[in-house]
Amino acid sequence: SAVISQKPSRDICQRGTSLTIQCQVDSQVTMMFWYRQQPGQSLTLIATANQGSEATYESGFVIDKFPISRPNLTFSTLTVSNMSPEDSSIYLCSVDHQGGTDTQYFGPGTRLTVL
């Protein structure tokens, strides 16, 4: 499986600010995914990020709030913009490591608290 790292691992932010989360993979992957896990809840997909194209957002998530970059096949960023306490969650990136399969491997997550 791929080795996936995320930065930062956790952060505490003030309302109205923005935070950019980085996801780095140790091998080239086609598809990267960003999920949100709200406290005590399951995971919900925010968007799918493919290199060379704009991210595809799920219903309820918009680019102005969660802009995503995918500059190459090993890296992606997710920005949480104009944060409010409701954005307090764990944000996880995942990859389809083997390409063409449907098995995803997850990073360790970024635990975000918004005050």
Residues that bind other proteins (CB under 8 A): 1, 31, 33, 41-45, 48, 56, 58, 92, 94, 96, 102-109
Among residues 32 and 83, whose Cβ is nearest to other proteins?
Answer: 32
To other proteins, the closest distance from the beta carbon of 101 in angstroms equals: 8
Token duo for residue 62: 């918009």
Q: In what order do the strands lie in the sheet with 4-7?
A: 4-7, 19-25, 75-80, 68-72
Among residues 6 and 74, whose Cβ is nearest to other proteins?
Answer: 6
Examine residue 85 and say whether the peptide bond preceding it is cis (omega within 30 degrees of 0). Answer: no
